[in-house]
A and B are shown apart, each in its own frame.
Chain A
Amino acid sequence: MAILTLNNVQKNFGETAIIRGVSLDIEEGEKHAIIGPNGAGKSTLFHLISGLYKVSAGSITFKESEIQDKAPYEISRLGLARSFQVTNIFQRMNVFENIRCALFWSKGYRYSFWHLLGRQKELNEQAMHVLEQIGLTDKALFPSGELAYAQQRALELGIAIASGAELIMLDEPAAGMSHSEAETSVQLIHKITEGKTLIMVEHDMNIVFNVADRISVLVYGEVIATDSPENIRSNASVQEAYLGEVATSA
């Protein structure tokens, strides 16, 4: 059963059509990768799904409710979490607070001004557990804005997965990482998305083929193919549009 359905989604910025009618079904529990050249509209597609941008036309259904007109926080509360390609954290707060804030809503604290955080044992333990997963335990009290790049990426991921959302969307989680850092990220992604649905944009083909059950190829705002990794690898038009360049440059 599809957890997320995109039906002829379009997005224009002024005169320019950036997303030109994307239809896509994401099955519950699948790991779906979106690949495509720079500027194809992958991040824009993420922004449309997560509510940051409003669609110009088309509809998006998440767990049977239409979300294309909802605000990001409403979509997030339905159980859709995402990370950003450009690190997007709470700079002046420490690492632990970043993660704990990401847990509040799903733990039912809402806008509470009557719960003292020092007393919320379960919440604090859970935040520490997430820190452990992303390998930032010893940086818990460190100002997040002063972390090293790879650690900020790990925190970026941590904020997205903390709430335990059913659908997790990661926008280039390994961008700018060294080979070994990327390796660690893959393991981390495997671990934290177990039993969940994942949509991931990633340029590193090793990661894509390692993680994905299905791959969609987005070129100039259109999905030109959605298929299993094997079929995508041998698909001629994909080769031409995208993989060919990567294969020669890699």
Chain B
Amino acid sequence: MVQLKRLSIWIGYLVVMLVLPQFFDSILSVSIFNQMAIAIVFALSYNMLLGQGGMLSFGHAVYFGFGGFLAVHTLIMIEFETVYFSILFIPLIGGVFGLLAAIFIGSFSTHKAGTVFAMISLGMGELIAASSLIFVGFFGGEAGISGDRTYGPPFFGVEFLRDVEIYYVAVFWVFIATVFMYLFTQTPAGRMANAVRDNPERAEFIGYSARKVRFISFCAAGLFAGIAGGLFALNYEFITEETLNATTSGRVLLMAYIGGLGYFIGPIVGAVILTLMNSLLSNYSDLWMLYLGVMFLLTVLFLPRGFAGFIMMHQVAWVRGTIKQLALPYLLTGVPALLVMLSAIALIEMSHVEADVLQFIGFTLEPALLTDWLMVGIVGTGSLFAVRKSLPRLRDAWDSANTIPSEGGS
């Protein structure tokens, strides 16, 4: 039964990924799906470090970027017929080099977890990013390097001219990578990663070198980050220093954290949310990084277990069938909360916009008019008041949906 259920989740995962382009087939959406695919593998690999192994890395982009650079170099070699194989296997090249980089750096960075590990990861990240501007032959300097995926031999007639073809290549690798990363959690090495995360001292008294346990997770994380980097190379056909610098390292941390470190699917959720925000919001506002930062802050403060944790919080109510009781209170708090958020965004955008009018979700606002400021302010304050009013009711509903009534009754 349990196995059947698990199998159906995996099949569902694959089917959803496969049919997505049937429903959203614009060039923009396919490009977003490709970014999501890359982000999912990258974020899952990051969680092998932080969520499963307790290693806070500020430099995970090194393996992503390094794998990506080697993948582009391989594309170039295919183009010049130095090597001859289908570009379908490019992500594997990225993986191999991500792994090699992880073996090298992990050999000294995994001695300790905690601050020492975090600082080494930061230092290595800076070091590699800086050297990418020095070794111009390999990294291509600021401009980066580019290849062309269409020179490789066709794979059963597919020549990889279109993004959607790359999407299916990505789905293939995302699925395989997800399965293997999941299976890793089900092995002795994967379980010991959890044990060492929880209590490295005790792990040593049941026969395990905490260092070696960390090293194995670290290498696995490097391998899969490299695969993600290879997917990136295939998708964009060029790569720059940005893929291995601190910005990219920070973004993958955000993805995993916002999604939820404690759950296998957490990073997947985070990758989807952040990619969507990144590509959609950035079309509407150049302040989207600010909103991202605020969202991260709110997640850390109010959803410490991420979005996946928030969903899982409802398991008890779901099983008990009391989840229905939550619908109305959620609505009564959620709608005003949404209004608070929108008003805040409107105010920020009004003070930021340079044009005379601001088009905001169907409304036309004029920053020059005091009345517009007042109106938005009043909506925002009123909604905030409504949130505060409705919160106790939500809390009560939550408690009654989650407490098991005593047998005796009254």
User: A interface vs B, CB < 8 Å?
Assistant: 50-52, 71-73, 76-77, 81-82, 84, 88-93, 97-98, 100-102, 104-106, 109-118, 159, 162-163
Complex: chain B residue closest to A104, CB-CB: B188
Closest to A102 in B: B206
| A116: chain B residues within 8 A (beta carbon) | 183, 186-187
Q: Is B202 an interface position by the 8 A CB rule?
A: yes
Tell me the nearest residue of chain B to A116, going by C-beta: B186
Q: How far is the CA of A52 from the CA of B202 in the complex (A)?
A: 10
Contact of A163 among B204, B207, B209 (CB under 8 A): B207
B184: which A residues are within 8 A, CB to CB? 113
Say what secondary structure dominates the interface of chain A. loop
Q: Could you list 25 examples of A-B contacts with CB < 8 Å?
A: A73-B205, A76-B206, A88-B201, A88-B202, A89-B202, A90-B199, A90-B203, A91-B199, A93-B191, A93-B198, A101-B191, A101-B195, A101-B206, A105-B207, A106-B207, A109-B188, A110-B188, A111-B189, A111-B192, A111-B208, A112-B187, A113-B184, A113-B190, A113-B220, A116-B186
With CB as the reference atom, state the residue of chain A lying closest to B197. A92
CB distance from B40 to the nearest CB of A (A): 21
B-side contacts of A71, CB under 8 Å: 204, 209
Is A88's CB under 8 angstroms from B188's CB? Answer: no
The answer to whether A72 and B205 have CB atoms under 8 Å apart is yes
Q: Is the interface of B mostly helix, strand, loop or mixed?
A: helix
Contact call B212/A88, Cβ cutoff below 8 A: no
Minimum CB–CB distance from B188 to chain A (whole Å) comes to 4
Chain A residue numbers with a CB within 8 Å of B206 are 76, 81, 101-102, 104-105, 159, 162-163
B213 within 8 A of A: yes
- CB–CB A90/B187 < 8 A: no
Complex Cα distance, B394 from A175, in Å, reads 44
Give B191's nearest chain A residue, CB to CB.
A101
Please tell me if the beta carbons of B205 and A81 are within 8 angstroms of each other in the complex.
yes
Whether the Cβ atoms of B199 and A89 lie closer than 8 Å is yes
Chain B window 286-304, contacts with chain A (Cβ cutoff 8 Å), 1 for yes, 0 for no: 0000000000000000000
Q: For residue A110, which residue of chain B has the nearest CB?
A: B188
**B47 at the binding interface (Cβ < 8 Å):** no
In the complex, chain B residues whose CB is within 8 Å of the CB of A114? 187
List the A residue with the shortest CB-CB distance to B190. A113
Given contacts A104-B188, A111-B188, A112-B189, contact A90 B195 (CB under 8 A): yes
Whether the pair B205, A50 counts as a contact (CB closer than 8 A) is yes
B266 to chain A, nearest CB (A): 15
Q: Is B194 within 8 A of A104, CB to CB?
A: no
A76–B198 alpha-carbon span in the complex (Å): 19
How distant is the Cα of A51 from the Cα of B201 in the complex, in angstroms? 11
Q: Which residues of A contact B204 (CB under 8 A)?
A: 51, 71-73, 76
In chain A, what residue has the closest Cβ to B183? A116
Q: Which of A92, A105, A113, A163 has the most CB of B within 10 A?
A: A113
Q: Is B72 located at the chain interface by the 8 A CB criterion? A: no
- CB contacts (< 8 Å) of B198 on chain A: these are 90-93
Nearest CB in chain A: distance from B320 CB, A: 18
CB distance from A198 to the nearest CB of B (A): 16
How many angstroms between the C-alpha atoms of A84 and B187 in the bound complex? 27
Report the Cα distance A163→B206, complex, angstroms: 8
Write out the residue numbers on chain A whose beta carbons fall within 8 Å of the beta carbon of B166.
none
A73-B203, A104-B188, A111-B189 known, 19 other contacts, Cβ within 8 Å:
A76-B206, A90-B194, A90-B198, A90-B199, A92-B197, A97-B194, A98-B195, A105-B206, A105-B208, A109-B188, A111-B192, A112-B188, A113-B184, A113-B188, A113-B189, A116-B183, A117-B186, A117-B187, A163-B206
Chain A residues within an 8 Å CB radius of B220? 113
Does B216 touch A at the CB level, under 8 Å? yes
| Binary contact readout B224-243 vs A (1 if CB under 8 angstroms, 0 otherwise) | 00000000000000000000
A85 to chain B, nearest CB (A): 13
Q: Are B187 and A73 in contact (CB under 8 A)?
A: no
Q: Which residues of B contact A97 (CB under 8 A)?
A: 191, 194-195
